[in-house]
Amino acid sequence: MSLLTHARELARTPAERNRYADLLRAAAILVVVFGHWLSAAPYVVGGRLEIASMLGIASWSHLLTWALQVMPVFFIVGGFSNGVSWESARRRGETYADWLHGRLRRLVSPLVPLVALWAALVLVARYLGVDPALVSNASRLALIPTWFLAVYICVILLVPVAAAAWQRFGLASFWLPVSAAVMVDALAFGHGLTALRWANYVFVWLAVHQLGWLWRSGRASAGTVALAWLMGGLACLVFLVELSGYPVAMLTVPGADFSNTRPPTVALVALAAMQFGALMLLERPLRRWLDAEGPWTATVLVNGMIMTVFLWHSTVQTLVIGTAAWLGGIGLALQPGSAVWWLWRPAWLFVMLLALLPVVLVMMRFERGGRRGSRAAWPAGVLVAGSLLLCLGIGLLAGRGMGVPDFPWLRLVPLLLVVAGAVTVLRSRPERGVRPGA
């Protein structure tokens, strides 16, 4: 069966399904992928490969990140879809462990071959005597996208809490983590307690996730309410940037004093509010557009491989750059940011897309994850603990890469954490009445 035929079959969804959420999920990830490819500025100078970023080269690009930083969109959609999934599980009498196992399986399954590949590459490079620092930097660049997975898994673990908070407190369940994020920023920047900033990985992304529950409630669907969110978020963002000293860029700028994303600041919440308002204003016309077979089938097709595309796009880029440098710097001689460099950007994107396509076709099978009718093999406490180990391992890999040269005996720790966490999350047992392999 061809991918298109399979997508057409899956596109026969119930009329009540919110197709707009699926479109936003696919669009957000594709913006991230093409944004990473476009902003990367590798070049060879004096026989040495340098990896620059357009955010560090062209300050005019910082304002563009107000539209191109779309991780808030993914978390808003995540809040919406997690709410639908959790309430459906509750109606079926499904346990938290079984729900969590099913929810995480599609996220974690495509991660396993990616980590395995880089572990193998590190071993081969070590055997060939490649500089450990080079290997570490290459793996770090390739695995940077996985930080999002670690944060999102932590948010999924808290979905029952988010659901209970929404049911009891409504919109206050959004403002409470926002207030905590404001306090963290105030203490970090006003009193030098910068270590507290890491707490905003929880507060900021939980707040953004709660906007998905607001979306589901229908309370933001009116045009005036949506416009208020858009304009209010924009006003807060301008205030934070112009009067409070927050960076203009909503992505990390190489060499900058601090970033709005690592760790996140309250400026990302303002951006999320602005984007949320824009999404609500666009919902009705785009849902009508998705009623047509073509746009909806394309959306289903992309969503069927979206995590594979996201997780592998940086690895493909890293390997393409490494191959080009090994071949004498082919395609890497142009000065980043020059007019000629920009003229060649479409060709650069085409090469990346061409290299990614076969990888996705091979690896997307892992995204479909596990057999049908499977349940969690562990009780909820063990599953949560395994998920946290997995997140810690992912975070270390995304931050430092593999084969860190200055800690030779500790280089295996992140990998072991990922393996232990993945085994815990992915291990399943058959549903009652369902035979294995049926």
Q: How confident is the model at residue 435 (pLDDT cuts 50, 70, 90)?
A: very low
Predicted pLDDT at 3: 60
Of 47-51, 126-130, 293-297, 307-311, the range with the highest mean pLDDT is 307-311
Question: How open is the CA angle 390-393-394, to the nearest 5 degrees?
Answer: 85
User: What torsion do the CA atoms of 22, 107, 216, 383 make, to the nearest 10 degrees?
Assistant: 160
Counting runs of H as helices and runs of E as strands, what totals does the chain give? 20, 4
**Residues 179, 173: Cα–Cα separation, whole Å:** 10
Question: Has residue 13 got a pLDDT over 90?
Answer: no
417: three-class secondary structure by DSSP:
helix
Predicted pLDDT at 428: 74
Predicted pLDDT at 433: 47
**Residues 114, 105: Cα–Cα separation, whole Å:** 15
Q: Give pLDDT tens digits for 143-169.
A: 988 999 999 999 999 999 999 999 999
User: How large is the average pLDDT for residues 293-315?
Assistant: 93
With pLDDT > 90 as the criterion, what percentage of the chain qualifies?
A: 66
Predicted pLDDT at 438: 38
Predicted pLDDT at 249: 95
DSSP conformational letter for 292: S
Question: Has residue 305 got a pLDDT over 60?
Answer: yes
Q: How do the domains of the chain map onto residue ranges?
A: 15-430
Global pTM reads 0.91
DSSP conformational letter for 335: P
User: How large is the average pLDDT for residues 12-33?
Assistant: 86
Predicted pLDDT at 329: 86
Encode 185-221: b = buried (16+ Cβ within 10 Å), e = exposed. Answer: bebbbeeeeeebbebbbbbbbbbbbbbbbbbbeeebe
Tell me which amino acid residue 321 is.
Answer: I
User: How large is the average pLDDT for residues 361-370?
Assistant: 82
Rg (CA), the chain: 22
Question: Has residue 127 got a pLDDT over 90?
Answer: no
314 versus 130: the higher-pLDDT residue is 314
Q: How confident is the model at residue 26 (pLDDT cuts 50, 70, 90)?
A: very high
Predicted pLDDT at 436: 42
Question: Has residue 65 got a pLDDT over 90?
Answer: yes
Predicted pLDDT at 434: 45
What contacts 421, CB < 8 A, 6 or more positions away?
386, 387, 388, 389, 390, 391, 392, 393
Question: Has residue 242 got a pLDDT over 90?
Answer: yes
Q: Give pLDDT tens digits for 78-123.
A: 999 999 999 999 999 999 999 999 999 989 999 999 999 998 888 8
